[in-house]
Structure 1
């Protein structure tokens, strides 16, 4: 009986030492998860009354799990924001972003936001991230959205009747209010377009794609010139009922200005922001990129894991000195 108990006791010590060390690595490495919101200010402009606004985008670091915003902190505190609010969902990476507009008083010199989000995997994961740099007060003026109802259709000639009109024996009595027929001869106005043209864009590690979507019921096709900060401009004709786009090679700091012909006041600028899943050379980093954990948190993890590993190794060697043997 004693010979059997002793080897088992020594074997248990070895297993416990190894288990403690491995459990320490797993437990302390768990916080190195890459879950976090990605906050980016994409544009800003000044209103006529001196107030100004910043358009923010919040992306999800995860490619397989939707996140949820739990808190948003604004700087300055007397600013407001729409779209990016608590309980809003963060789409999985590569499938869109959460967008919002922060409105600031004229006295504010810079703007920033901090977003807290959570993900539910085996356990609840929470992360807080802010903008990499505050957005300074811009000088560019905000432009109103064009109103399609202001566009006037071209006059249409009326179609003469095949039969001549027969004069009446009695003079006609004029109505109290004169009628105002439309150029087509009908008293009803043509319906206004249900949507307005809008610029669209997409980006990956290698290209920035920009374009324009023209509603099918818009009055005409729209010619747009896309002018990059580096390289040659490209001009496209946006067809009604279609999305027309062009691509530019991605580079750091690339900006593309979109100028629609006939609507020059509605020009917009798109700034390229390299996606989080790109490596340093600009290429993709795979479908499931991971982000290293650095700083004080990484040091604490390494220290804690090291202590538990050391304890496991010590138990291993103590047991080994006893020359463990199995006895039948």
Structure 2
């Protein structure tokens, strides 16, 4: 009996996969006679089982004789069964004439090398031979069991983000869930902001929304309310304990915690940048009210106490002729210190950021409770005098006195009086007009004593007046003089008749 032993070695290249089939390095017996078997092998990795799978191929060198594998020895010593029928061992199998047979052997994932030795018998002529083949396994490429979950520290995610609507989603990538006891929270938060671009300070608006991806939850949805003003919205890595309540100048920032950031951990989620700055109006509620004063000035009250009042507001109050004043009002406060001078109060505007605020335009109007000018008269047979007195605290008033065909105008300053004297004539009334107040009145000429000639300016005082009780007229005139004959203007364009 002739026994031959051949050896052949070559390297194996392996690709990682759930089941990777690659040709391995094999050593094969070199024939000492014409009859022999040739052994080759391939190796793959079954990650689900955590084993390496070796497929052995044993080829018959004879084209006219079948060979029976009488003994099969494997290293490591694990079963080697036919690939066509995994319940039957390779030992005892018959290789057809000039044919080949395949068998499968499973070995631990950390196996470095394997060897197969077969003893074949050719019954037709009694020839037999022992041959072996070996393979080097790629231990530098681990063949570990396929993972059933992923740890949160190694997981990757995908996200969506809509800042103007205050919505976001975060999803765990891949088919595997997070491992039990492993979880990752994410938070969506919105802020009041002073500008539609990034600026400080910022204050959390409403309640941030936090949800957690865990073993039984692979996707979450987040929603927050957005203020009706300038805002910032951030999608961050972490729970509510990561939320910065106030973002201030020089204070802490989220940095790469924002999803979609270039650095970790934000770059572990694939999607758009998870931050937004916008809003079309200020997070303040500036308001103004106006009050006209009797002296022609306007008092402007400024307030910053609306529901969105989070920031100081700088108001600018403008009047006519270039008059202007700037006032800063803190959040939740009001200011009543601005008084527009009378000469500038014809048109008043209140502006914020260069724009007139709603209801921020006003013009001075005379208050109804302002004291009216007083008119007194004095008359004798030669003269008829009228005096206009303007109370303190008011505006200068223009007064026009008309008697007969003569008119005199005077401007009476507050706290002052102006008197006009006419030579008594035949007219028994004078007209007093205040054009600025759109008012006028008639003053009756009623001289002290009795003037002769039966009329004003007569030469014979004391003669009876036709059709009138002279005593009653005289008594009435004296009574008016005794009281100062004071006249109050109480109606616009209302003509009041009085006697002097």
TM-score normalised by structure 2 residue count: 0.21
With CA pairs under 8 Å and 6+ residues apart, which has the higher RCO, 1 or 2?
1
Larger strand proportion, structure 1 or 2?
2
TM-score normalised by structure 1 residue count: 0.29
